[in-house]
Structure 1
Amino acid sequence: MHKLLYRVFMHDIRVALRRQSDVVAVFFFFIIATSLFPLGTGVDQKLLMAMAPSVLWVMALLSCMLSLPRMFSNDYANGALEQIVLSNQPTILLILMKIFAHWVLSGLPLVLIAPVIGLQFNLNTDALIVLAESLMIGTLALSLIGSIGAALTLGLRGAGILIAILVLPLYIPVLVFGAGAVGAIAIGMSSNGAFSLLGAVLAIALVVAPV
């Protein structure tokens, strides 16, 4: 079973890397979009610090959403999804592995680059650490929630718009708690409450999304 899950994971990674432009586009969209705000705001460091949690989290959310239409589309087109459903293997675990592969390619790069981007917003070290930690939990939750929209819109025209309509309302708790964690630590308060709620959202998504 472990070998099968590994093969599913590596298959999705290889397929995505054949279309490197899709992976790179998400990564550079996040970098460019977040970097525009410090350039447009100027030298007001207090304003940059105040807007940093919301800006970074909204852009991370939009970046993750860009790749959702391709989460299952290739496997749907070549019949691989049908084979997964018809196989005797646990479908939920196989789907979870595909979602994890999507997160590795779309969410994990954002987690790694976000602290560097956060320096432009004059965030302190503690805030940068919390930013990375909250994005690690939050982007995984975004991929899980987004998989629901990606699955419901398979084969439909304009899937990207439909996915946005379906998942954006569900993304709101992740955005609120993720940005709240960073904002709290940036002003010297505890982020434990926001992290607990963010973890709860991830746990619920982990149970509901693959079903």
Structure 2
Amino acid sequence: MIALLTRDLRLAVRAGGGFGLGLAFFLIVTVLVPFGVGPETALLTKIAPGILWIGALLACLLSLDRILALDWEDGSLDLLATAPLPMEGIVTIKALAHWITTGLPLVLAAPALGVLLSLPTEGYLWLVVSLAVGTPALSVIGTFGAALTVGLKRGGLLMSLLVLPMYVPTLIFGAEVARRGAEGLTVQTPLLMLAGISFGALALLPFASAGVLRVNLR
């Protein structure tokens, strides 16, 4: 499993789908928002949690098609299907590799980008917490979408259409945690809901993704 994780991390970076691409997109979204809505500090402070979460979601979405596509193209996916490691474990490792190369850098960079949107000081901790709890769900759900569309020509657009509706609950509760934290309100309820989504996705979707891959590889 460690060897597979290391391999996927190297492939993600070499193929251009690593942390650099996601961070660049996250930065672009954060920088463009003040130009679009105006420089008013009060307005930016109000919308900052939601904008940062939308930027993180879209940055994760940007690299989803690379999770399984490279293995499909070079035939590695067929070899992995016959390996001693269960397909559920393979899918979980690939989701973990995606989170390390995309989700984790976004979590670490979010406070610095929050400065550009005048995020209140009280909101930085809860922004990081919400992204740390919610982004694993984005990677696991995205892996499921990648499994559904693997092998399809121009499957990236179809995958986006399939995955985005499943991302909505994570976006709602993640942004709510950051918003309430920035306003000094209690965050217990949305944080528990966000954690429930992540744990539910981690518990169920690897089996669904493995089943879909088995069908696609027949």
TM-score computed with the length of structure 2 as normaliser: 0.90
Counterpart of 1:165?
A: 161
Q: Secondary structure at the match of 1:107?
A: helix
TM-superposed CA distance for 1:118, in Å, is 0.6
1:1-211 matched pairs, under 5 angstroms: 5-20=1-16, 23-211=19-207
Which structure 2 segments of 5+ residues have no match?
Answer: 208-218
Cα distance in 2 for partners of 1:182, 1:92 equals 32
CA distance in 1, matches of 2:5, 2:12: 11
Measured after TM superposition, the shift of residue 44 of structure 1 is 1.6
Which runs of 5 or more structure 1 residues have no equivalent in the other structure?
Answer: none
Q: Measure, in 2, the Cα distance between the counterparts of 1:8 and 1:54.
A: 35
Q: Secondary structure at the match of 2:206?
A: coil
Conserved? CA contact 2:141–2:201, under 8 Å: yes
Structure 1 residue 46 displacement after superposition: 1.3
| Percent of residue pairs bearing the same amino acid type | 39
CA root-mean-square deviation: 1.4
Contact between 2:114 and 2:124, CA under 8 Å: does it hold in 1?
yes
Aligned partners of 1:83 and 1:133: how far apart in 2? Answer: 38
Residues 58 and 119 (structure 1), Cα distance of their counterparts in 2 relative to 1, 3 Å cut: same
- Displacement of 1:38 in angstroms is 2.4
Q: CA deviation at 1:95?
A: 1.7
Structure 1 runs, 4 residues or longer, greater than 4 Å off: none
Deviation at 1:136, TM superposition (A): 1.3
Query: CA distance change for structure 1 residues 174 and 186 in 2, over 3 Å: closer, same or farther?
Result: same
Amino acid at match of 1:102: H
Q: CA deviation at 1:87?
A: 2.1
Equivalent-residue separation in structure 1 for 2:76 and 2:139 (angstroms): 20
Would the aligned equivalents of 2:173 and 2:190 in 1 still touch at CA under 8 Å?
yes
Q: SS in structure 1 opposite 2:65?
A: helix
Q: CA separation in 2, counterparts of 1:29 and 1:129?
A: 22
CA deviations 1:41-66 (Å, max 9, x no partner) are 44421111111111111111111001
Q: How many residues align?
A: 207
- After superposition, the C-alpha distances for 1:57-97 in whole angstroms (9 at most, x for unaligned) are 11111110010000011111222222222222232122211
Q: Which amino acid aligns with 2:28?
A: I
- State the secondary structure of the residue aligned to 1:115: helix
Q: Which residue is equivalent to 2:213?
A: none
